[in-house]
Amino acid sequence: MNAGKIIGFPALALLVMFVLFDVTLVLDFGTSNPDKFPDPVVEAEFARCYQEKDRQIHATAFGTIDNPDVQREFISANRAKARRECRALYPESLIAEDNSSGFNIVDLTPRFW
């Protein structure tokens, strides 16, 4: 009778775990995962450049063109050009940051809450 309880309780606990949680085997043993993201300094300079050119485009469009349809077309065409020019001045550069993941074998996700 004692042997049945020793085997029964862990088996019942595993059954409850598989019913209440979505179990995923990950088998991650502390490998490093480099994350790459854009350099914030370069992206800030790109945004500053683009905003300045966008202000110039709008000033030119609203100061010299009377037709709203032509203004819209002028702005959209010149925005693409301004984006290319600013990206040429400030090319996108990625920074790699190593994030070593911890020891993880199983992921449990609740099913019902």
Q: Which tens digit of pLDDT belongs to each residue from 86-108?
A: 999 999 998 887 776 667 778 88
53 or 113: which carries more pLDDT confidence? 53
pLDDT tens digits, 5-54: 778 888 888 888 888 888 888 776 666 667 788 999 999 999 999 999 99
Instruction: Check: CB of residue 18 under 8 Å from CB of residue 24.
Output: no
Predicted confidence at residue 36, as pLDDT, reads: 86
* 73 sits in which H/E element: helix 68-89
- Give, in order, the Cα–Cα distances in Å from 109 to each of 15, 17, 100: 15, 10, 22
Task: Taking residues 79-91, report their average pLDDT.
Answer: 95
